[in-house]
Amino acid sequence: MIAVQAALEPLTILIAEDSAADRLLLSSIVRRQGHQVLTAANGAEAVEAFRQQRPQLVLMDAMMPVMDGFEAARQIKALAGETLVPIIFLTSLSESEALARCLEVGGDDFLAKPYNQVILAAKIKAMDRLRRLQETVLQQRDQIARHHDYLLNEQRVAKAVFDKVAHSGCLNAPNIRYLQSPYALFNGDLLLAAFTPAGDMHVLLGDFTGHGLPAAVGAMPLAEVFYGMTAKGYGLAETLREMNAKLKRILPVDMFCCATLLSLSFQRQSVEVWNGGMPDGYLHSIASGERTPLKARHLPLGVLTPQTFDDRTEVFPMALGDRVFLLSDGVIDTCDVNDQLFGVERLQQVFAANRQPDALFEDIEQALRDFRGEARDDVSMVEISLLDPNLLSPPAPIYSDSGQSCPLDWSVSFEFRAATLKRFNPLPYLLQLLLEVHGLRTQSGALYSVLAELYSNALEHGVLGLDSSLKRDVAGFARYYQQRNARLEALEDGYVRVHLQVTPEGEGGCLVIRVEDSGKGFDVERVMARPVDPVRLSGRGVSLIRQLGRNAHWTDDGRSARVEFFWEALA
């Protein structure tokens, strides 16, 4: 007889055989091949031995007392579950019917008596290969399942972290409606909203190139810049420049972010827009029913160098109730079964057919479903309406310092000259300086609004000599901002001076703001004689200052403005 080599890895093999001589013989053969042997004299013993010791392979006699091999095989296969425990039937059965029954109950092979060592060794080897294969498949399946769970968990954690950042904003404000898939972040879609210190609202809808985690990572720094700079009172231009520079620096070349950034001013009733590579947004005038497209005039964020980046914005007047609608390319790039795009025309048909402005999202979604049969998961839409500012409640800023180092008796003067006026917005710095005075913090909104109005009056009407009466109508409004940009570009001399003086008064204190400009001045008496009129587009600045600050007055033919803020003892 040929000596058979021991298997590479010894197995534990259960031998179930009622004949003592056959059991002994088979045990010796299997042991000589290097395996461990368990024995059972009937089916019931075999099931019990399997239950307790989990052998990897079973040699099973078919005809046994107490419980036959067929029943034992069935029970062992059930106990083994997903694990493949090969069962080789030991049999001198010759009828095909009986052999078929062996397979039906889960048997994997046969071994005929008299036993042949070589064939037995080959069969054990073959069955062991099969067993290992199944084991590998199960391991890989479990590994894939674990990886999948891991990935989903990572996304959950990333989303949770991101939601903390994203929802530090004001997406839940009563004038915002938006629709985004829960995992839009992993489609690269990003929606942010926050109030400025003056109570304006900044909104960003962005769309990063790519999908999954890579598309989501850029969202974090972008959100940080957006919230940080908005809270400090920076305008769109500075915020855009910073976001572009940051993304340009950190993102790989083939990654960038299409974005629309808005600043909605409830007090000035206008919206300032910058659109870089996003689909057209729409400004919907409720009175006229007209929808003005907010077109992409720029390359996406993260493409151009800081030197070549263009931060020019457009300003549109709005009336109470007017809405700005922004959408991601998931809407218009939705394809039907024939690869036809949904497109802008179909979107405009939905606009035209829309009867209830509040049901616009639902109308668009329905149109997409009708077009495609199923909605895509990367559709983002947001609608912001211009509400009465009294209906909105910007959150009070949170300060972390204790107030021990609060400065109470000081003054400072700045002169900002032409080259600076062109490209630098001093307001965030001035505001931060003033907010070191704790008593002023509760009125930071009013303070910022007044400061912003004084500064823009000095710059636009004073230094640039723009006529505010231009803003009487919608067309003039646009012309006004075109002229503003053009004159600022060409500016060669002129200045704006800002004097701040803080003095303690009893337990409280007083702030005096003086702003002077190099312009021609204006007829103070005529402007002051005008009633405070919140509806007209022009002249809002002066009435705003008079409402929010104390003792506002103008001297030097309107070239010098002065306003005061007071505070009482802190609680």
Partner 1 sequence: MADIHLDPDVLSALRDVMEDEFSTLIDTFLADSEQRLRQLTVAGDATQLLEAAHSFKGSSSNMGAIRLAALCHDLEQRSKERNLSGIELLIADITREFALIRPLYEDERTRAGSAIATVRPY
Give me the residues that bind partner 1 (CB under 8 A), please. 1, 18-22, 24-25, 28-29, 32, 61, 63, 92, 113-115, 117
Min dist CB 141 to partner 1, Å, is: 40
Q: Is the dihedral of CA 295, 298, 302, 307 positive or negative?
A: negative
Q: What is the H or E stretch that residue 499 is in?
A: strand 495-505
What is d(CA 21, CA 479) in angstroms, rounded to the nearest whole number? Answer: 109
For partner 1, which is the closer residue by CB, 1 or 353?
Answer: 1
CA triple 479-483-485, angle to 5 deg: 120
What is d(CA 537, CA 533) in angstroms, rounded to the nearest whole number? Answer: 9
For partner 1, which is the closer residue by CB, 91 or 560?
Answer: 91
Min dist CB 77 to partner 1, Å, is: 24
Q: What is the dihedral of CA 177, 179, 184, 187, to 10 degrees?
A: -110
For partner 1, which is the closer residue by CB, 21 or 160?
Answer: 21
For partner 1, which is the closer residue by CB, 30 or 515?
Answer: 30
* Neighbour count for residue 193 (Cβ, 10 Å): 26
| Nearest Cα residue to 86 out of 116, 115, 60, 52 | 60
Q: Is the dihedral of CA 106, 109, 115, 120 positive or negative?
A: negative
For partner 1, which is the closer residue by CB, 65 or 228?
Answer: 65
Strands 57-61 and 550-555, how do they pair?
unpaired
What is d(CA 85, CA 540) in angstroms, rounded to the nearest whole number? Answer: 85
What is d(CA 293, CA 344) in angstroms, rounded to the nearest whole number? Answer: 11
Min dist CB 152 to partner 1, Å, is: 56
Amino acid at 185: L
What is d(CA 134, CA 527) in angstroms, rounded to the nearest whole number? Answer: 89
For partner 1, which is the closer residue by CB, 58 or 434?
Answer: 58
Min dist CB 86 to partner 1, Å, is: 21
What is d(CA 119, CA 240) in angstroms, rounded to the nearest whole number? Answer: 78
For partner 1, which is the closer residue by CB, 42 or 456?
Answer: 42
Cβ 380 vs Cβ 328: under 8 Å: yes
Min dist CB 70 to partner 1, Å, is: 14
For partner 1, which is the closer residue by CB, 80 or 93?
Answer: 93
For partner 1, which is the closer residue by CB, 22 or 363?
Answer: 22
Min dist CB 89 to partner 1, Å, is: 12
SS3 content of the chain, % helix, strand, coil (to 5): 40, 20, 35
Min dist CB 69 to partner 1, Å, is: 12
